Amino acid sequence: MQIVRRFIFAWVFALITAFCLYVSFLVASLAFHGLNRSRVFPFFVLFGLQSAVTVVFGMAWWTTWMNKPSTRAWGVAASLLVLLLPLSAMNELRFGKLTYIETALGVFSFVAYLWPDKRERARKK
């Protein structure tokens, strides 16, 4: 499973991180340039939440790619976000099969990060 994590999910999380960074900068630019000053606070809250999601996916990518000891924790957190984001209130639009693909990706990544490695089993013995 370590190969699947490193060569599939590391890049999936990297692409999600890049997309989240783009959305974060888009929200920040709307907060500073597109609105009057009385409606800025909700955009800062949204920017903070989006930045936190970006950090989780970025850390999942980085720890998986560099094979760090905290890989599993960050991977499980990112997998849970992938599973929970279709259920969020921000996902009001129905995308059809895309939601099923995202859910399947979340379940598969969740299983991949929870699956014990052979090296960990050998260390425990």
- What's the structural domain count of the chain? 1
pLDDT in tens, the chain (125 residues): 777 888 888 899 999 999 989 988 887 787 777 666 667 777 778 888 889 999 999 999 999 999 898 999 999 999 999 888 776 645 555 556 667 778 888 899 999 999 887 766 666 66
Looking up tokens 């800062």 gives: 44
pTM as predicted: 0.80
Long-range contacts of 73-77 (CB under 8 A, 24+ apart): 75/5, 75/9, 75/13, 75/109, 75/112, 75/113, 76/110, 76/113, 76/114
Domain of 113? 2-124
